[in-house]
Amino acid sequence: EPEVTQTPSHQVTQMGQEVILRCVPISNHLYFYWYRQILGQKVEFLVSFYNNEISEKSEIFDDQFSVERPDGSNFTLKIRSTKLEDSAMYFCASSIEGFTGEGYTFGSGTRLTVV
């Protein structure tokens, strides 16, 4: 079964450092997403991406965040200057359509720890 692959599974970074989280969505999917889950909290939408541009973003997705699809297969989330409160599980997801009643396919997540 096709999978969304995320690397690394765990990243530890110092506060103020830049971090790039990587995702390989399912190959024929067209819509890509990043969500995050702070420990003990709900899963929160960050951004959606379609046709090489951001289609929606939440208020969490401020100027410190950016996304890119650099080579047609990878989908990355960059945090420019990490803060302690960025520590969370970050999930990448993809879907073949903008909306599907079957939801998205999520990756296993990257646990980001900012120290």
Partner 1 sequence: DQQVKQNSPSLSVQEGRISILNCDYTNSMFDYFLWYKKYPAEGPTFLISISSIKDKNEDGRFTVFLNKSAKHLSLHIVPSQPGDSAVYFCAASAWSGAGSYQLTFGKGTKLSVIP
Applying CB under 8 A, the residues found at the interface with partner 1 are 4, 6, 9, 31, 33, 35, 41-45, 48, 50, 55-56, 58, 91, 93, 98-99, 101-109
Our CB check for partner 1 shows the closer of 14 and 62 to be: 62
Give the phi and the psi of residue 85 in degrees, each rounded to 5: -75, -5
What is residue 93's three-state secondary structure?
A: strand
Whole-number minimum distance, CB 97 to partner 1, in Å? Answer: 9
Whole-number minimum distance, CB 18 to partner 1, in Å? Answer: 24
Whole-number minimum distance, CB 54 to partner 1, in Å? Answer: 9
User: Which DSSP state fits 85?
Assistant: G
Our CB check for partner 1 shows the closer of 14 and 51 to be: 51
Q: Is the peptide bond before 70 cis (omega within 30 degrees of 0)?
A: no
Question: Starting at the edge strand that comes first in sequence, how are the strands of the sheet with 5-7 ordered?
Answer: 5-7, 19-24, 75-79, 65-68
